[in-house]
Amino acid sequence: MSARRKPAALRLENLTLTHGRHPAVHHLSGCFAPGSLTAIVGPNGAGKTTLLRGLAGLHRPEGGRVSLQGEARIALLPQMASLDRAFPIACLDVVMQGLWARSGAFREIRAEDRARAVQALAAVGLGGFERRPVGSLSAGQTQRLLFARLLVQDADILLLDEPFNAVDAKTSADLLRLVRDWHGEGRTVVAVLHDLDLVAREFPETLLLARDPIAWGPTAEALSAANRLKARMMAEAWADEAGRCQRAA
């Protein structure tokens, strides 16, 4: 919402994230350039969600590191499943959770912050939903609500985990417009996606991941037939008898 954007790049150096000792993301190096719009694509179990959590600082790297240049604020949109939709809370209060970086546990919510939250609700097409309980929303409406919270967070780097799942065409078109706006404002956006047509149409950069990085670069090259075949070859099962990884740390 503010015009000035700090250049916010996320650099990965030989990053390995594990579940137990098994790698979920294996020796990944590269950079999400400031203002870039990148899709992360890969088969189920490829480590996409784990990577986003690693980028947000929620999953401690087993090896390598994630470095953030400048003082950028990161916002993560998790998959909807992690939300307790039976919790008795009104939509506006959910949107105002996005103010956490400023309000913290105890600072007051100023009138203009509140007004921004109301605006954000209107921007995602939920005007008039301020006092509606979250439990009464449909899946698509809930996703719109979470986008409104992201708007209020006003982050420099946005990490979106399957943002268009389980929403209808109209909702996903509306939400996609917000993603384009963020890109236009110079924010860095990274989204995990499954719809390859959508990726080819809207996302300039793609990281194709199958635990090991397969390709990272301009979307047309990254999603070449050869690369996609390589990604499909990933063995989903953990190799229990696997020896220690010998690649240079």
243 counts as binding another protein under rule CB under 8 A: no
Of the pair 149, 228, the CB lying nearest another protein is at 149
Determine which residue in the list 19, 29, 67, 101 makes contact with another protein, applying CB under 8 A: 101
Of 197, 184, 231, nearest in space to 48 by CA:
231
Q: Which two tokens stand for residue 170?
A: 């109209």
Determine which residue in the list 90, 118, 176, 196 makes contact with another protein, applying CB under 8 A: 90
124 counts as binding another protein under rule CB under 8 A: no
56 counts as binding another protein under rule CB under 8 A: yes
Amino acid 107 reads R
The Cβ-side half-sphere exposure at 43, using a 13 Å CA radius, reads 15
Output the smallest distance, CB 143 to another protein, in A: 13
Site residues (CB under 8 A) for another protein, limited to 181-210: none
Helix (H, G, I), strand (E, B) or coil at 197: helix
Let me know: does 39 contact 206? Beta carbons within 8 Å: yes
Please give the Cα distance from 117 to 124 (Å, whole number). Answer: 11
Let me know: does 114 contact 96? Beta carbons within 8 Å: yes
Output the smallest distance, CB 155 to another protein, in A: 10
139 counts as binding another protein under rule CB under 8 A: no
Output the smallest distance, CB 234 to another protein, in A: 25
Of the pair 95, 215, the CB lying nearest another protein is at 95
Residue 174, φ and ψ in degrees, nearest 5: -65, -45
87 counts as binding another protein under rule CB under 8 A: yes
Which pairing describes strands 10-19 and 74-77: parallel, antiparallel, or unpaired? Answer: unpaired
Please give the Cα distance from 196 to 225 (Å, whole number). Answer: 12
Contacts with another protein by CB under 8 A: the residue count is: 26
Determine which residue in the list 4, 44, 88, 128 makes contact with another protein, applying CB under 8 A: 88
Q: Which helix (H) or strand (E) holds 38?
A: strand 37-41
Binding track over 147-176 against another protein, x by CB under 8 A: --x---------------------------
Of the pair 94, 223, the CB lying nearest another protein is at 94
